């Protein structure tokens, strides 16, 4: 179930707001709302680290062309079977990114284009957050039909990097469904790349009853089954 976000020190938040106000007055594009500032403080611990991380994210967003990704129909159409943001939400109101792992193959993708598509999905889902209620996401990895040829470690590394650097504290929970027995070896590798906080948000679903604790199974695409 969703945990309450860890509280931040209000004095730290005030200091971070003051720093941001100084640069926003010169460049409105640097703006982050209070929910975003709280997420950066929770993730990066100190005012200095949070401030520097925000500046790096803002620079990355411009250089990467994040605002223009929604207009890149070619990439969106090419990789639309790799992930999708669902119309429905989980039981706490989080937007859901559904990823059917069987559609992935490291030999059948351009890593740069697929990473852009991942950013597009993260942006789309983040915009759907009701931040006053819950400001994080639910990611569902459906491993139905998954084989080792579907295992794409580089894509997962890129996703982890994006979540940790540029979408900090956006991940609320990651649900893994239909995991075959051999996936335990893959998970041992992946878990080594995660910090303790992120690893604790990954939950393996063993039945529809498990899934019901987080969302209504009927809202998921037809390709999921137990």
Is the pLDDT assigned to residue 223 strictly greater than 90? no
Task: Specify the pLDDT at position 16.
Answer: 97
pLDDT at 83 over 80: yes
Q: How far is CA 179 from CA 13, 23, 104, 140, 143, in A?
A: 40, 47, 15, 12, 5
Mean pLDDT of 178-204: 96
As a whole number, the mean pLDDT across the chain is 94
Mean pLDDT of 124-139: 96
pLDDT band at residue 226 under the 50/70/90 scheme: very low
pLDDT of residue 96: 98
- Res. 185: pLDDT tops 80: yes
Predicted TM-score (pTM) of this structure = 0.93
């Amino acid at each position: 179930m969703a945990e309450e976000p860890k509280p931040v020190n209000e004095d730290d938040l005030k200091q971070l707001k003051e720093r941001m106000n100084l640069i926003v007055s010169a460049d409105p594009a640097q703006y982050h709302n209070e929910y975003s500032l709280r997420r950066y403080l929770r993730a990066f611990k100190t005012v200095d680290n949070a401030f520097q991380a925000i500046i790096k994210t803002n620079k990355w967003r411009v250089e990467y062309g994040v605002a223009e990704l929604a207009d890149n129909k070619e990439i969106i159409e090419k990789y639309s079977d790799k992930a999708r943001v669902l119309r429905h939400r989980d039981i706490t109101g989080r937007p859901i990114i559904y990823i059917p792992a069987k559609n992935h193959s490291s030999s059948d993708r351009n890593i740069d284009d697929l990473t852009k598509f991942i950013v597009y999905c993260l942006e789309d889902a983040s915009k759907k957050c009701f931040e006053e209620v819950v400001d994080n996401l639910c990611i569902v990895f459906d491993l139905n039909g998954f084989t080792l040829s579907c295992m794409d470690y580089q894509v997962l590394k890129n996703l982890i990097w994006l979540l940790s650097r540029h979408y900090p504290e956006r991940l609320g929970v990651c649900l893994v469904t239909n995991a075959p027995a051999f996936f335990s070896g893959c998970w041992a590798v992946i878990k080594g790349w995660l910090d303790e906080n992120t690893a604790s948000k990954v939950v393996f679903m063993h039945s529809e009853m498990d899934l019901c604790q987080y969302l209504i199974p009927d809202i998921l695409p037809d390709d999921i089954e137990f």
